[in-house]
A and B are shown apart, each in its own frame.
Chain A
Amino acid sequence: MNNLTNDLQAQILAAYKNKTHCRIEGGNSKAFIGNAPPDSQASINISTAEHTGIISYDASELVITARSGTTLHEIKQALAENNQSLPFEPPSFADSATIGGTIACNLSGPARAYSGAARDFVLGSRIINGKGDDMQFGGQVMKNVAGYDASRLMAGAYGTLGLILEVSLKVLPLAQTEITIKSQQHINSAIKNINALSAQNWPISASVYLDGHLYIRLNSSEMNCLSASQAISQKINATEIADSKAFWTSITEQQHAFFDTSQSIARLSLPATAEDIEPGGEQLIEWGGALRWLKTDLPIQQLRDTARTLGGHVTAYKNYPQATEYFQPLAPGMHSLHQRLNKAFDPAGILNPGRLYKEL
Chain B
Amino acid sequence: MQIDTIKQTILPALMQILPADAILSEQEDLHPYECDGLSAYRQTPLLVVLPSSIEQIQQIMKLCHQHQVAVIARGAGTGLSGGALPMADSVLLSLAKFKQILDIDPLARTANVQPGVRNLAISEAAKPHGLYYAPDPSSQIACTIGGNVAENSGGVHCLKYGLTVHNILKLDIVTVEGERLTIGSEALDSPGYDLLALMTGSEGMLGIIVDITVKLLPMPEQAKVIMASFDDIYKAGNAVANIISAGIIPAGLEMMDKLAIKAAEDFIHADYPLDAEAILLCELDGNTIEVDELIPLAEKVLLESGASETRLAKDDTERAKFWQGRKSAFPAVGRMAPDYYCMDGTIPRRELANILKRIADLSKEYELPVANVFHAGDGNMHPLILYDANIEGELERTEEFGAKILEACVAAGGTITGEHGVGIEKIDQMCVQFKTAELSQFHAIKAAFDPAGLLNPGKAVPTLHRCAELGAMHVHEGKLPHPELPRF
Judge whether A139 is part of the interface by a CB distance below 8 angstroms. yes
**A269 touching B162, Cβ below 8 Å:** no
**B194 touching A142, Cβ below 8 Å:** no
A357 to B193, CA, bound (A): 11
A62 to B241, CA, bound (A): 10
Point out the residues of chain B lying under 8 angstroms from A155, CB to CB. 194, 197
Q: Nearest-CB distance from B240 to chain A (Å)?
A: 9
Point out the residues of chain B lying under 8 angstroms from A137, CB to CB. 438
Point out the residues of chain B lying under 8 angstroms from A145, CB to CB. 151-152, 201, 415, 417-422
**A148 touching B442, Cβ below 8 Å:** yes
Q: Smallest CB-CB separation from B131: which chain A residue?
A: A199
**B441 touching A345, Cβ below 8 Å:** yes
**A133 touching B379, Cβ below 8 Å:** no
**A273 touching B447, Cβ below 8 Å:** no
Point out the residues of chain B lying under 8 angstroms from A290, CB to CB. 187-188
Point out the residues of chain A lying under 8 angstroms from B350, CB to CB. 58, 60-61
**B162 touching A116, Cβ below 8 Å:** yes
A108 to B162, CA, bound (A): 17
**A341 touching B193, Cβ below 8 Å:** yes
Judge whether B444 is part of the interface by a CB distance below 8 angstroms. yes
Point out the residues of chain B lying under 8 angstroms from A129, CB to CB. 441
Task: Name the interface residues of A60-112: CB closer than 8 Å to any CB of B.
Answer: 60-63, 83, 106, 112
A328 to B187, CA, bound (A): 14
Q: Which candidate, A182-190, A240-248, A250-258, A307-315, is the interface stretch facing chain B?
A: A307-315
Point out the residues of chain A lying under 8 angstroms from B447, CB to CB. 340, 344
Q: Nearest-CB distance from A59 to chain B (Å)?
A: 6
Binary flags per residue of A302-340, CB closer than 8 Å to B gives 1, else 0: 000000000111010000000000011111011001101
Q: Smallest CB-CB separation from B286: which chain A residue?
A: A201
**A140 touching B193, Cβ below 8 Å:** no
Q: Nearest-CB distance from A63 to chain B (Å)?
A: 7
Judge whether A224 is part of the interface by a CB distance below 8 angstroms. yes
**B346 touching A120, Cβ below 8 Å:** no
**A141 touching B441, Cβ below 8 Å:** no
Instruction: Kindly identify which residue among A287, A291, A313, A337 contacts B190, using a CB–CB cutoff of 8 Å.
Output: A313
**B433 touching A146, Cβ below 8 Å:** yes
Residues of B in contact, count (CB < 8 Å): 92
Q: Nearest-CB distance from B143 to chain A (Å)?
A: 15
**A148 touching B201, Cβ below 8 Å:** yes
Q: Nearest-CB distance from A306 to chain B (Å)?
A: 13
Judge whether B19 is part of the interface by a CB distance below 8 angstroms. no
Binary flags per residue of A191-205, CB closer than 8 Å to B gives 1, else 0: 010011011111100
**A161 touching B414, Cβ below 8 Å:** no
**B415 touching A146, Cβ below 8 Å:** yes
Q: Nearest-CB distance from A196 to chain B (Å)?
A: 7
Q: A142-B378, A331-B182 are in contact. Are A269 and B130 (CB under 8 A)?
A: no
**A60 touching B221, Cβ below 8 Å:** no
Instruction: Kindly identify which residue among B130, B180, B247, B290 contacts A203, using a CB–CB cutoff of 8 Å.
Output: B290
**B187 touching A271, Cβ below 8 Å:** yes
Q: A148-B202, A221-B290 are in contact. Are A201 and B247 (CB under 8 A)?
A: no
A311 to B169, CA, bound (A): 12
**B194 touching A119, Cβ below 8 Å:** yes
**A341 touching B185, Cβ below 8 Å:** no
A61 to B106, CA, bound (A): 35
Task: Name the interface residues of B191-208: CB closer than 8 Å to any CB of A.
Answer: 191-195, 197-198, 200-202, 206
A272 to B249, CA, bound (A): 27
Point out the residues of chain B lying under 8 angstroms from A327, CB to CB. 191-192
Q: Nearest-CB distance from B36 to chain A (Å)?
A: 16
Among A143, A269, A270, A337, chain B packs the most CB atoms within 10 A around the CB of A143
Closest 5 CB pairs of A and B: A143-B418, A344-B444, A173-B247, A152-B197, A340-B448
Task: Given A61-B348, A152-B197, A344-B447, output 7 extra A-B contacts at Cβ < 8 Å.
Answer: A60-B244, A142-B159, A143-B380, A147-B430, A195-B107, A201-B218, A224-B290
Taking beta carbons and an 8 Å cutoff, which residues of A are in contact with B? 58-63, 83, 106, 112-113, 116-117, 119-120, 129, 133-137, 139-150, 152-153, 155-157, 161, 172-174, 192, 195-196, 198-203, 220-221, 223-224, 227-228, 269-273, 287, 290-291, 311-313, 315, 327-331, 333-334, 337-338, 340-341, 343-345, 356-357
9 A-B pairs within 8 Å (CB atoms) are namely: A145-B421, A146-B415, A146-B433, A147-B422, A148-B445, A150-B445, A333-B181, A337-B175, A341-B445
